[in-house]
Amino acid sequence: MSEAQGALHSLVAEFDDVDGVSAAARAVRDAGYKAFDVYSPFPIHGIERSMGLRATRLPWLVLACGLTGTVLALFFQWWTNGHDYAFKISGKPLFGVPANIPITFEFTVLLAAFGAFFGMFVLNRLPEHHNPLFENERFRRATDDGFFLAIEARDAQFHERATRELLQSLTKHTVVACHESGESRALPVWVRASMAGAGALALVPLAAIVAARYRDSTQAPFHLIKDMDSQTRYRAQAANPFFADGRAQRPDVAGTVEFDRFRTDPALLTGRAGEAFVDQIPLSVTAELMQRGRTRFAVYCTPCHGGAGYGDGLVAQRAATLQEQAFVPPASLHDPLVRARPAGQIFDTIRNGVRSMPAYGRQMSIEDSWAIVAFVRALQRSQNASVEDVPDAERGRLGTR
């Protein structure tokens, strides 16, 4: 008891055996004391009766925890396997109680055990590493072979002298007064400071992550477990350092012929019959073909030739604004010369290009090219239509314009 003493905490009487302390307990109880306690190295059979203690509420707590476990486990198993991601397993129902019993049981026990364990300590207000009783050196025997009874000063009946007499009458050892230690109950500054510091430090990673989330990165994403993520087989357009050009995809071998895509219709493939161009579209011109032609025209032709085919596409315009010398403005599809061309020639132009127009043969299929031809024909027609072209039924509506 080196440092300054605090308020009186309790009066402590020591005993040598179970009988003594039990008797004392009864006496103190009968004297009407409430805030007193018995300390012994092992649980004394029947002491709670001698002290007049009520039974603990612990069992109810444990029951509550256990039930929570049951419900949680059952619900969670249903929700995960039966609802959230319902996979078909061995042709069994998505949720069947039998399969879920074991885990439900285990979880029930787990939570109940937590209830018992933590419940006990909490109800006992443990851990309590500092306690006035420890100030008393003899009190060490409480965990060995000593028995103690302490009446605390906070008891309503407590009166230092009277109480001391009562106790002294029960034991042959001298009753000892036990004082609160002088030091303050509050946390020292350095403890508070360091906890605050730790808290602040903990925010750093958060900040970093937030930054990462809202900023683009030129660096490949962070990635730890890589099994099978990037495999050594070559997928489309991959790289293979072995070859000089670094490509995994290899060019066709000259002169070879592919299987089951074999066609020999010169008109369809080249748009020519012998030397001359065909003027007939070798496919049956249907609404689908027209539709197809329209969309393909929009994809491949509009950029230069413009939506209506007057050669005023956005690309052409941009080239003009940039004053690109090399750029030759695209022809209008409605130029008489162009209109005069046979279908085959338009087809040929699309596939192989002409003058400054690039070849699109490798960008679209034969059918698509013909579809575009069909659409271009329609387009030309639409821009140079005479009244005769309009069906009689529709002519009436022309007048309104």
Question: Would you say 116 or 378 has its CB closer to another protein?
Answer: 116
Give the residue from 105, 119, 102, 101 showing the smallest Cα distance to 64: 119
92 versus 161: smaller Cβ distance to another protein: 92
Is 355 a residue that touches another protein (CB under 8 A)? no
Of 19 and 279, which has the nearer Cβ to another protein? 19
- The distance of closest approach from Cβ of residue 371 to another protein in the complex, given in angstroms and rounded to an integer, is 14
362 lines the binding site for another protein (CB under 8 A):
yes
CA 63 to chain centre: 35
Taking CB under 8 A as the criterion, which residues in 210-269 touch another protein? 212-242, 245-253, 255-262, 264
Handedness of CA 302, 305, 306, 309 (dihedral sign): negative
Question: Does 401 contact another protein by CB under 8 A?
Answer: no
Minimum gap (Å) between residue 266 Cβ and another protein: 9
Contacts of 315 (CB under 8 A, 6+ apart): 303, 304
CB of 233 to another protein, least distance (A): 3
- The Cα 26–Cα 85 span in angstroms is 64
Q: Looking at 93-101, 171-179, 336-344, 382-390, which segment touches another protein (CB under 8 A)? A: 93-101
Beta carbon of residue 388, minimum distance to another protein (angstroms, whole number)? 32
Residues 194-213 interacting with another protein (rule: CB under 8 A): 195, 199, 202, 205-206, 209, 212-213
Peptide bond into 127 cis (omega under 30): yes
User: Of 73, 92, 100, 95, which Cα lies nearest the Cα of 84?
Assistant: 95
Closest distance to another protein from the beta carbon of 5 (Å): 13
Which residues ranging from 330 to 349 are in contact with another protein (CB under 8 A)? Answer: none
Shortest distance, position 12 Cβ to another protein, whole Å: 11
Q: Is 247 helix (H, G, I), strand (E, B) or coil?
A: strand
- Nearest distance in Å: CB 264, another protein: 5
Residue closer to another protein (CB basis): 125 or 161: 125
Site membership for another protein, residue 185 (CB under 8 A): yes
Q: Is 284 in the site for another protein (CB under 8 A)?
A: no
Positive or negative torsion for Cα 367, 368, 371, 377: negative
The angle at the Cα of 204, spanning 203 to 205, to the nearest 5 degrees, equals: 95
Whole-number Å distance between alpha carbons of 302 and 309:
7
Least Cα distance to 150 among 121, 122, 176, 189 occurs for 176
Rounded to a whole number of angstroms, the minimum distance from the CB of residue 338 to another protein is: 20
Binding to another protein (CB under 8 A) within 1-30 occurs at 1, 17-19, 22-23, 25
Q: Give 82's DSSP letter.
A: I
> What is the rounded distance in angstroms from the CA atom of residue 220 to the CA atom of residue 216?
11
Q: How far is the CB of 240 from another protein (least distance, A)?
A: 5
Question: Is residue 134 a contact residue for another protein (CB under 8 A)?
Answer: yes
Q: Which of residues 25-64 bind another protein (CB under 8 A)?
A: 25, 37-51, 53, 56, 58-59, 62
Nearer to another protein, 193 or 195 (CB): 195
Dist CA 15 CA 263 (whole Å): 112
Q: In terms of CB distance, is 329 or 342 closer to another protein?
A: 329
Q: Which stretch binds another protein (CB under 8 A): 98-106, 160-168, 339-347, 379-387?
A: 98-106
Does residue number 190 form part of the binding site for another protein (CB under 8 A)?
no
Q: Is 381 in the site for another protein (CB under 8 A)?
A: no
Burial of residue 36, with CB atoms counted within 10 A of its CB: 0-12 exposed, 13-18 middle, 19 or more buried: buried
Size of the site for another protein (CB under 8 A): 162
Residue whose entry in the numeric block shows the structure tokens 């509050």? 186
359, two tokens? 């070849």
DSSP lists the bridge partners of residue 247 as 239
Helices (H), ranges, 313-365: 314-322, 336-340, 343-352
Find out whether 126 and 2 touch, Cβ atoms under 8 Å.
no
